[in-house]
Amino acid sequence: MIGRITGTLIEKLPPTICVDVNGLGYDIEVPMSTLYALPETGARVALYTHLTVREDAHILYGFATPAERGAFRELIKVSGIGARTALAVLSGLSVGELAQAITLQESGRLTRVPGIGKKTAERLLLEMRGKLGADIGASAHPVPDSQADILNALLALGYSEKESQAALKTLPEGTEVSDGIRLALKALVR
């Protein structure tokens, strides 16, 4: 397996780039987010890679960060999602936005990506639930410690993250955990 490549960027033909490594040119397919982060041709680059071996081809995919590569690997595990579709998702959404869409179960964000219809978006949300959150941060929204405790209590009671986040916004700043849980539950009952 080729896990990382460092060399000179010699060509950009979206979505493919070519990296020269000691006289050997590697064609690498990249998402647009990685392409935009690359320097001009002639500069040195380092990419995290994923190699796919098929009967008719060996295809190398490149990513600017390990998180992008990890998201790509999780995406291609979903039934009906191939490498091209996974690249399209990562071109349309950052890894953080993808994790947030999965955590909050927002299929609308995914359907804005070309090639992702409603059924595919719902399958992605279902099969990837809980898989990216641990890598990127379980909560898509950072919260202070007392609010994190309140959020965890609401989630343990069976409320969705979206409902729990909305309830947290109604709390006055500096609310203690026990009072915050009680007030958040009152807000959720309304």
Is the pLDDT at 19 greater than 60? The verdict is yes
Q: 66-128 adopts what CATH topology? A: DNA polymerase; domain 1 (1.10.150)
Band of the pLDDT at 104, cuts 50, 70, 90? confident
Cβ atoms of residues 60 and 28 within 8 Å: yes
146-189: CATH, from 1.25.40, 1.10.1760, 1.10.8, 1.10.10:
1.10.8
- Any idea what DSSP says for residue 147? H
In this predicted structure, the answer to whether residue 23 has a pLDDT above a threshold of 80 is yes
Per-residue pLDDT band for 145 (boundaries 50, 70, 90) equals low
| pLDDT exceeds cutoff 90 at 131 | no
pLDDT value at residue 134: 42
Look at residue 173 in the predicted model and tell me its pLDDT.
80
- Homologous superfamily of 4-63: Nucleic acid-binding proteins (2.40.50.140)
| Rounded percentage of the chain residues whose pLDDT exceeds 70 | 93
Q: In terms of pLDDT, which residue wins out, 143 or 32?
A: 32
Give the start-to-end residue ranges of the domains of the chain.
Answer: 4-63, 66-128, 146-189
Which pLDDT value is given to residue 141? 46
The answer to whether the CB of 97 falls within 8 A of the CB of 69 is no
- For 140, the token pair is 């898509």
pLDDT at 128 over 80: yes
pLDDT tens digits along 35-79: 999 999 999 999 999 999 999 999 999 999 999 999 999 999 998
Most confident listed range (24-28, 131-135, 161-165): 24-28
Predicted local distance difference test score (pLDDT) of residue 150: 83
pLDDT at 25: 96
CA nearest to 8, candidates 17, 16, 146: 17
Q: Which of 182, 180, 184, 140 is nearest to 161 (CA)?
A: 140
Query: What average pLDDT does the segment 77-106 reach?
Result: 90
Q: What are phi and psi of 25, to 5 degrees?
A: -90, 125
Q: What is the pLDDT of residue 136?
A: 44
pTM for this structure?
0.69
Stated as kind and residue range, the H or E segment containing 52 is strand 44-53
- As to burial, measured by CB atoms within 10 angstroms (0-12 exposed, 13-18 middle, 19+ buried), residue 103 is buried
